[in-house]
Amino acid sequence: MIKIEAIVRPERIGAVVDAMDAAGCGGYNYVNVTGRGKQQGIEVFTGRGASTTRRMALPKVLITTVIEDSKKEAVIAAIVAAARSGDEGNIGDGKIFVSHVAEVVRVRTGERDGDAL
Amino acid sequence: MIKIEAIVRPERIGAVVDAMDAAGCGGYNYVNVTGRGKQQGIEVFTGRGASTTRRMALPKVLITTVIEDSKKEAVIAAIVAAARSGDEGNIGDGKIFVSHVAEVVRVRTGERDGDAL
Amino acid sequence: MIKIEAIVRPERIGAVVDAMDAAGCGGYNYVNVTGRGKQQGIEVFTGRGASTTRRMALPKVLITTVIEDSKKEAVIAAIVAAARSGDEGNIGDGKIFVSHVAEVVRVRTGERDGDAL
Amino acid sequence: MAEANIAWMLVASALVLLMTPGLAFFYGGLVREKNVISTLMYSFVSLGVVSVVWVLWGYSLAFSGGNEFIGTFNALGLKGISFESGPDGAVPEAMIVIFQMMFAIITPALITGAFAERFKFSTYLVFLVVWITIVYVPIAHWVWYTDGMEGGISGWIYGIGAADFAGGTVVHINAGIAAIVAAAMVGRRRSIDKGIEPHNVPFVLLGAGLLWFGWFGFNAGSGLAADGVAINAFLVTNTAAAVAGLVWVIAEYQQAGKMSGVGFATGAVAGLVAITPASGSVGVMGSIGVGLGAGIITYLAVRMRHLLKVDDALEVFAVHGMGGIWGALATGIFAVGGLGMIDGEFGLFWANLRATLATIAYSGVMTIIILKALDVIPGLGLRAVEREEDNGLDVSFHGERAYVSDGAD
Amino acid sequence: MAEANIAWMLVASALVLLMTPGLAFFYGGLVREKNVISTLMYSFVSLGVVSVVWVLWGYSLAFSGGNEFIGTFNALGLKGISFESGPDGAVPEAMIVIFQMMFAIITPALITGAFAERFKFSTYLVFLVVWITIVYVPIAHWVWYTDGMEGGISGWIYGIGAADFAGGTVVHINAGIAAIVAAAMVGRRRSIDKGIEPHNVPFVLLGAGLLWFGWFGFNAGSGLAADGVAINAFLVTNTAAAVAGLVWVIAEYQQAGKMSGVGFATGAVAGLVAITPASGSVGVMGSIGVGLGAGIITYLAVRMRHLLKVDDALEVFAVHGMGGIWGALATGIFAVGGLGMIDGEFGLFWANLRATLATIAYSGVMTIIILKALDVIPGLGLRAVEREEDNGLDVSFHGERAYVSDGAD
Amino acid sequence: MAEANIAWMLVASALVLLMTPGLAFFYGGLVREKNVISTLMYSFVSLGVVSVVWVLWGYSLAFSGGNEFIGTFNALGLKGISFESGPDGAVPEAMIVIFQMMFAIITPALITGAFAERFKFSTYLVFLVVWITIVYVPIAHWVWYTDGMEGGISGWIYGIGAADFAGGTVVHINAGIAAIVAAAMVGRRRSIDKGIEPHNVPFVLLGAGLLWFGWFGFNAGSGLAADGVAINAFLVTNTAAAVAGLVWVIAEYQQAGKMSGVGFATGAVAGLVAITPASGSVGVMGSIGVGLGAGIITYLAVRMRHLLKVDDALEVFAVHGMGGIWGALATGIFAVGGLGMIDGEFGLFWANLRATLATIAYSGVMTIIILKALDVIPGLGLRAVEREEDNGLDVSFHGERAYVSDGAD
Ligand SMILES: Nc1ncnc2c1ncn2[C@@H]1O[C@H](COP(=O)(O)OP(=O)(O)O)[C@@H](O)[C@H]1O
Ligand SMILES: Nc1ncnc2c1ncn2[C@@H]1O[C@H](COP(=O)(O)OP(=O)(O)O)[C@@H](O)[C@H]1O
Ligand SMILES: Nc1ncnc2c1ncn2[C@@H]1O[C@H](COP(=O)(O)OP(=O)(O)O)[C@@H](O)[C@H]1O
């Protein structure tokens, strides 16, 4: 089994999870993170309005799903399609990381691995 | 060393960490996530009360602990026992993912791996 | 490629990400977690002031960065130096976990692996 | 006696002022996290802009002489306004300037619920100045201006005998109509198809609580005296709010088996809206009728609005527009002679109907014209661009994030 | 003069109304995140239900004639209530209807702290109607009703010469006793063994601030006039709150080396509770005594309550019950003749003790009976089922989540 | 008439009281999450401590007889204070005790913005007692005390003809100077170099809303009567706040293309500060001038303060110090004779300048002395130790965390 971790824009989360559903993900979880990549950050005020600062790290959402190896490319393609903003994509659209998972357990039943997904 | 990531119901977090302590976990960390698996979601109001929508993803807690390989089964058993709701377990009780960790460093001392746990 | 996950004190996050930048990290993301290791926790009031309890788990920040293998030691050294509190370090300063990442995809371009970092 | 009335009206004015922050939180809680400062600021900045407009020319144009349709420039900068009490305990005109100012402040703030989460903030500042001057001020003149003399001059709606005790037409119908028009012109929010949950329900209830509290100033202050009329207005205001709030949660319970905090708050505000024009002329039993009707009508109006494509984000039309229209007509239905205020109920009903229609027509048409103009003027424009909307108006227009945690945030 | 009193009483009534939202936030901040809307709504919906009950039959049963024990149905729907001021500046009866209504609204809301996080919301609505009618109304009649005539009729507690200026027995002891009884009957919350931290301390302080502010209406309004008695009530109210708040944080500092925000807020509320019955009859030095006693007694009461198995979640019994009992007795101890209100202090002490015991007995017994009945009536029942409680009452009963972030939440 | 004035002053006092919770939220929203309870408590506990100091000895020392420089101990514990109204509707002295108390409560709370996020809470309690007694009380005596008799005794600043209607010197300049001095002595916060974002902007706006609301009591109550002077004060207060708030957001827009919520709130408060001494003597056009000046001056003052090494965390000096100084001088510039209050404007300017300089000197020097003393007294000390500051003052001094989520938090 593999774990796919995708970091996407917060406003894309709805579209991304729908695409993942369609691509056959049995489950997922997501969390708000603060992240920084090539994106330039945003200007924010600090110190009661009289000065601004560049906040480099921006709000993103990290979605994690564990799937069977066979679904990997389908899920990646689904996420990429749904997470891209505009036609060309923009800096800050996100990254996807894939890693191996050794075992999965379903708490309810104690089932393991493939059966637990 | 292995990393155990367990997704459980928020109200179970106290019981689960106690069970992990008892099973010999030296440390852990947890974070609130929003997740969706086989559970059906809940009805919530949207748009000022006049219509409801089904919120598919629900609040869960993701607990992460890195342990020596030898403790794996004990810790999994402890989590499963503590996280299950009711006698039979219910949909939404959670999942456990196990993966490999290559190295561990303790910031305070710079110790590595087994010593750092 | 490898993934470095560092758990540090919240007040250190600024220093740590600066050090990571300097050590050549191309991106990172972080999230607030609640964690417990060897640190003793803190006293908090509970039940309307008349009694206190020891809250074992404390606020920490989990920073995650995916880098090329070659940068591993530089980044770890940078994090350790920036995250340590006081000269000697203190209990609760944090832990670093290193694991393998199989693949990376950049959402914007679809580039993979090294090119995507 | 004048001193007692002044004492009460100072407080009533302060209470109405507090309604604008109250509204800010009511609305602010209903939007998404990334737009809460923007939503709060739509209301707060009205405290800034309209206060200034009012003392410079707004009050003068609305309330200093003139003809049936508009006042004069005689009291620009409040020149010549008296601080002396009149006969029979009448409060000084300056007191009325203040009290009326608070109504002018909150009215455009009400509208903002319709175009929340997407209206461009700098354009909104211009909108405030223009809309107050050419929409609000004339309607206020029509409904409330009178020189008090036998055969003297008064606004034309006042002249036909319509009764709007505390601002059902001037404030609520006016704002409700402007709201639906604005929502249509500004267009739907991006990505609202899944339904947006309020980001902070406690703020909604905080706002509702402050509105309920402040509304006692709004209605019980509108007689400009601390007397039996004020007491009656206070009582019926509270009763209508209570009834309409209950109607909403009962309706929700019928429909979905739940009773939401947002629903109770919305219903209570709808009751407050509906009782506003009626609070000087209905009794406590009448106010139960007003509240029942307000609850049912606005609940259905919200449900029907959901069928439209118009994205009146916070249901301003349903609550203030429909609630206000119901209130104006209900005033005719439930008014009682007992308090020595109103006699002919049937005439009142028709007068109020005419007042309502006139307000709808004028507010609707003028708001369209204003927004069209603002849309085409270079450098203005009504709507945030896509990226600004996606990132949230807080960051885009205000350079702030509402909530920042330590560590990650 | 009547106008001045009306001016003040309109405001005082609005201030007391605001206490209910204030209480909502005070309580709402103390519970867990998943139950905050539920806790807010217990208070807010009382604004809805009790307002209606009060104007329909509550006021009539409590204050329109009758015998020593209960009023009549003569003023159902407020029939015949006067809006005219009485002699010597007495405010119109309608003003008293309003002011008293606000007390009736907040009393059951106070109780809800005891069974927060687990009481079934739909049953609570029924409880409100029943409890106000058969517990609150009679006690209010006993303590406050008088026809004002020499040898005329008055409530029996009034008759024995007990002094409850602003509602120590009727509101606080009554609510405190009902609270502990209800907590015992509803049972302990699931999984409270590790101790529950308040989910939003700023809300607790916001609520405490609004309560402190509103309490000036509660106490200084209870003389129904803007006079020296009101000024004294205002002064002693503030002083007792200040002293009791300080006692709490000092006690915490002794015990744990910290001074908590929740502790200060709780202590201040305890001081406000205790001064309530006394605020018409003690001077400023006496109020320091009342505040000191209130701080110490309620602090110890909370500690002792922790030893019990009864899960009075937000310490309503300790703060309002014990604080109220202390206040009733302290009124006898610290009352001064100087303000021309009270003479015989010893007689007062005994009268207040009898009033306290009667309130405890009646409120306790009747609340048990009511809850037992609600528990067994099919379709009602007191408590959320396990799953509802685990998921949180907000989602289970209100279909809402209090806080929703953008992206994940 | 006295009753009407009492009615108003009871409310005005309650309004000013509410400003302290308002300030708490204004400040509390501006700090980091880990210090919000601490910041709230600096204000709330002043309600506790100063209320007690004031009734025990503060009022007596400030307002009961004495000489040009200080009062007496004659009214310790408010002994002999009258609850009877005076001639011509003058409110009872006890009413003034209360109203003045509210000013004494908020003044040290204002200072806390300077040393927020690092001042030791237990030392702060001692600071409150000492600072009120030896800094606030004398200045209040100088500026406001008069025995009212021809050739009688009054405070020396009152004697030279300075006009501080509602506390520009006593409250704002005093607090602003103490603030900058305290910030310098306590030292900079650890790790502020990246700029700290406010953790909760809605709280900042909530606080600003409550301050604006309460300030009507502060200024319009300062004439101690419900009359034309109060109406004027109300009007100019609102106008100055509106103008200065707008100046801030416009300035920000020029500079950064954004208009922040914190900026509007800060500007509005600056306008309220500046109009405070002037509100009894300027008209509405003058108040626009006062507001414009206040906005510009405080905006520049904040920018300049950023160049200093002094970490006046929440800009108390810039807003209250500079805003207050501008207000004192502007009173001389914009005062009008029309309201029958002030004649010689030039003399007034110089008198106010002297008053300002005296306040600066006395407040600055005495605050330094007090803080030095507190720093060296064993067991006290001004500042949290490193670990306490890093963990946040909420956990370190109050044993609480502001926000606790279910599950992880
Ligand atoms: N090497 C990395 N490790 C961890 N997270 C990363 C890494 N690079 C990017 N991210 C996350 O992905 C988000 C988007 O990355 P960004 O570089 O802006 O996109 P792009 O590569 O398309 O320009 C960042 O905000 C950050 O949260
Ligand atoms: N494949 C998965 N990848 C990531 N998270 C998952 C996955 N499946 C389930 N989860 C998480 O686990 C939680 C519980 O899963 P659920 O399917 O409801 O339990 P069960 O399998 O017992 O029915 C979900 O809410 C989600 O957060
Ligand atoms: N085995 C572990 N697995 C996951 N997280 C851990 C583990 N050990 C420690 N942590 C995290 O690291 C933080 C710091 O650990 P701690 O034990 O206090 O430091 P130290 O080892 O230097 O004493 C903890 O609060 C927790 O969040």
Tens-binned pLDDT, residue by residue, of chain E (409 aa)? 799 999 999 999 999 999 999 999 999 999 999 999 999 999 999 999 999 999 999 999 999 989 999 999 999 999 999 999 888 889 999 999 999 999 999 999 999 999 999 999 999 999 999 999 999 999 999 999 999 888 899 999 999 988 889 999 999 999 999 999 999 999 999 877 777 889 999 999 999 999 999 999 999 999 999 999 999 999 999 999 999 999 999 999 999 999 999 999 999 999 999 999 999 999 999 999 999 999 999 999 999 998 888 999 999 999 999 999 999 999 888 877 544 344 445 778 889 999 999 999 999 999 999 999 999 999 999 999 998 998 899 999 999 999 998 776 5
Q: Is D56 helix (H, G, I), strand (E, B) or coil?
A: helix
Instruction: State how far the Cα of E231 lies from the Cα of E221, in Å rounded to an integer.
Output: 10
Measured between alpha carbons, how far is residue E168 from residues E140, E208, F109, F219 in Å?
11, 18, 32, 34
What is the mean predicted confidence (pLDDT) over D340-362? 79
Give yes or no for residue A95 CB within 6 A of ligand 1.
yes
Shortest-distance ligand to the CA of residue A6: 1
- Within 8 A of E405 by CB-CB distance, chain A residues are 32
Q: Which of A103, A106, A107 sits opposite B98 (nearest CB)?
A: A103
pLDDT of residue E340: 36
Q: Which of A20, A96, A100, A101 to mutate to test the interface with C (most CBs of C within 10 A)?
A: A96
Interval D31-56: pLDDT, tens: 999 999 999 999 999 999 999 999 99
Q: What is the pTM of this model?
A: 0.96
Query: What are the tens digits of pLDDT across the range F71-120?
Result: 999 999 999 999 998 888 899 999 999 999 999 999 999 999 999 999 99
Residue among A27, A66, A110 minimizing CB distance to B36: A27
Q: Please name which of A57, C68, C46 lies closest in space to residue E260, comparing C-alpha atoms.
A: C46
Domain annotation covers residue D241: yes
Q: Contact partners of D by the rule of 3+ C-beta pairs under 8 A?
A: A, B, C, E, F
Confidence of residue D341 (pLDDT cuts 50, 70, 90): very low
Chains in contact with E, where contact means 3 or more Cβ–Cβ distances below 8 Å, are A, B, C, D, F
Give the residue from E400, E403, E406 with the most B CB atoms within 10 Å of its CB, the best one to mutate: E400
Q: What's the pLDDT at E68?
A: 95
C-beta separation of F326 from F294 below 8 A: yes
**Does any domain span residue F129?**
yes
Across the interface, do C84 and B107 touch by the CB < 8 Å criterion?
Answer: yes
Q: What part of D 313-352 touches F (C-beta under 8 Å)?
A: none
Asked whether residue E66 is domain-assigned, the answer is yes
Please give the average per-residue pLDDT across F386-404, as a whole number.
93
Domain range for D305 is: 2-149+160-393
- What is the CA(F42)–ligand 1 centre distance, in A? 41
Query: What is the nearest CA distance from B41 to chain D, expressed in angstroms?
Result: 14
Close Cβ partners of F365 (under 8 Å, ≥ 6 residues apart): none
Residue D187: other Cβ atoms inside 10 A = 14
Q: Is ipTM over 0.90? A: yes
**Pocket of ligand 2 contains residue B92 by CB under 6 Å:** yes
Residue F239, pLDDT score: 98
Chain D residues close to B45, C-beta within 8 Å: 197, 252, 256, 258, 260, 262-263
Which bound ligand lies closest to the C-alpha atom of C9? 3
| Residue D102 or residue A35, greater confidence | D102
Chain C: touching chains (3 or more CB pairs < 8 Å): A, B, D, E, F
Tokens of F274: 């500046």
Show the 3-state SS of chain F: CHHHHHHHHHHHHHHHHHHHHHHHHHHHHHCCHHHHHHHHHHHHHHHHHHHHHHHHHHHHHHHCCCCCCCCCCCCHHHCCCCCCCCHHHCCCHHHHHHHHHHHHHHHHHHHHHHHCCCECHHHHHHHHHHHHHHHHHHHHHHHHCECCCCCCCECHHHHCCCCCCCCHHHHHHHHHHHHHHHHHHHCCCCCCCCCCCCCEHHHHHHHHHHHHHHHHHHHHCCCCCCCHHHHHHHHHHHHHHHHHHHHHHHHHHHHHCCCCHHHHHHHHHHHHHHHHHHCCCCCHHHHHHHHHHHHHHHHHHHHHHCCCCCCCCCCHHHHHHHHHHHHHHHHHHHCCHHHCCCCCHHHHHHHHHHHHHHHHHHHHHHHHHHHHHHHHCCCCCCECCHHHHHHCHHHHHHCCCCECCCCCC
- C25 interfaces chain A, CB cutoff of 8 Å: no
Per-residue pLDDT of chain A (117 residues; tens, 9 = 90+): 999 999 999 888 888 999 999 998 889 999 999 988 877 677 788 767 667 777 778 889 999 999 999 999 999 999 999 999 877 888 889 999 999 999 999 999 888 877 878
Count Cβ atoms below 10 Å from residue F304 Cβ, excluding itself.
12
What CATH code is carried by the domain that includes residue E312? 1.10.3430.10
- In Å, how far are E44, E132, F163 from E182, measured between CA atoms? 19, 15, 58
Helix (H) or strand (E) holding E52: helix E36-53
Q: Which helix (H) or strand (E) holds E264?
A: helix E261-278
Residue C110: CB within 6 Å of ligand 1? no
Per CB-CB distance under 8 Å, the chain A contacts of D409 are 34
* Number of other residues whose CB lies within 10 A of the CB of residue C14: 14
Strands B51-55, C2-8: parallel, antiparallel or unpaired by DSSP?
Answer: unpaired
As a whole number, mean pLDDT of residues C42-49 equals 72
CA of D107 from ligand 2 middle (Å) equals: 48
- A75 Cβ neighbours under 8 A, 6+ residues apart: A4, A20, A23, A24, A25, A65, A67
| pLDDT number for residue F341 | 42
Question: Which ligand approaches the C-alpha of residue A56 most closely?
Answer: 1
- Ligand 2: residue of B4, B5, B7, B97 to mutate (most ligand atoms within 8 A of CB) is B7
* Residue D398 belongs to a domain: no
Q: Is residue F406 part of a domain?
A: no
Interface size, chain C vs chain E, as Cβ–Cβ contacts under 8 Å: 46
Q: What is the mean pLDDT of residues F378-404?
A: 94
Chain D interface, mutation test: which of E6, E10, E52, most D Cβ atoms within 10 Å? E10
E405, part of any domain:
no
DSSP letters for D257-318: S---HHHHHHHHHHHHHHHHHHTTT--HHHHHHHHHHHHHHHHHHHHHHTTSS---TT-HII
Looking at the predicted structure, is the pLDDT value of residue F127 above 50?
yes
User: Is the pLDDT score of F28 beyond 70?
Assistant: yes
Q: At what angle do helices E2-30 and D2-30 cross, to 10 degrees?
A: 20
pLDDT digits (tens, 9 = 90+) for D216-275: 999 999 999 999 999 999 999 999 999 999 999 999 999 999 999 999 999 999 999 999
Give pLDDT tens digits for D152-211: 899 999 999 888 899 999 999 999 999 999 999 999 998 777 778 899 999 999 999 999
Residue F166's closest CA among F231, F224, F218?
A: F218
F133 located within any domain? yes
**Model pLDDT, residue F93:** 97
Q: Is A89 in the pocket of ligand 2 (CB under 6 A)?
A: no
pLDDT tens figures, B18-63: 999 999 898 999 999 998 887 767 777 875 766 777 777 888 999 9
Task: Nearest by CB to E390, from B11, B33, B43: name it.
Answer: B11
* Residue E145: per-residue pLDDT: 96
> Which residues in chain D have Cβ-Cβ distances shorter than 8 Å to B49?
248, 252, 260, 262-263, 266, 302
In a domain, E408, yes or no: no
Q: Which comes out higher in pLDDT, residue C79 or D307?
A: C79
Please enumerate in sequence order all residues whose Cβ is within 8 A of that of B17, keeping only pairs 6 or more positions apart, or say none. B28, B30, B63, C36, C57
How many B-F residue pairs are in contact by the CB < 8 A criterion? 19
> Is residue F402 scored above 70 in pLDDT?
yes
Q: Does B107 touch chain D (CB under 8 A)?
A: no
Q: Would you call F406 and B60 a contact, using CB atoms and an 8 Å cutoff? A: no
For residue C100, what is the nearest residue in chain B, using CA coordinates?
Answer: B102
- Write down the pLDDT at residue F340: 37
* Predicted local confidence at residue A49, as pLDDT: 60
Pocket test for ligand 2, best of A5, A28, A61 (most atoms within 8 A of CB): A28
Pocket test for ligand 3, best of B3, B5, B28 (most atoms within 8 A of CB): B28
Structure-token match 């200024």, residue found: F219
Contacting residues for F370 by C-beta, under 8 A, at least 6 apart: F127, F130, F131, F134, F135
Distance C97 CA to ligand 1 centre (A): 19
Q: How sure is the predictor about B117, in pLDDT bands with cuts at 50, 70 and 90?
A: confident
Q: How remote is the CA of residue C26 from the centroid of ligand 1, in Å?
A: 8
Q: Total structural domains in chain E?
A: 1
Is the separation of the CB atoms in F163 and F352 below 8 Å? yes
Mutational pocket test of ligand 3: of B3, B29, B100, the residue with most ligand atoms within 8 Å of the beta carbon: B29
In order of start, what are the domains of chain C with their CATH numbers? 2-116 (3.30.70.120)
Centre of ligand 3 to C-alpha C83, Å, is 13
Q: How far is F284 from chain A (nearest CA, A)?
A: 28
Read off the pLDDT of residues F303-345 as tens digits, 9 standing for 90 and up. 999 888 899 999 999 999 999 999 999 988 887 754 434 444 5
Q: Determine the distance separating the centroid of ligand 1 and the alpha carbon of D192, expressed in angstroms.
A: 27
Q: Which of A42, A48, A52 is the best substitution to test chain F (most F C-beta atoms within 10 A)? A: A48
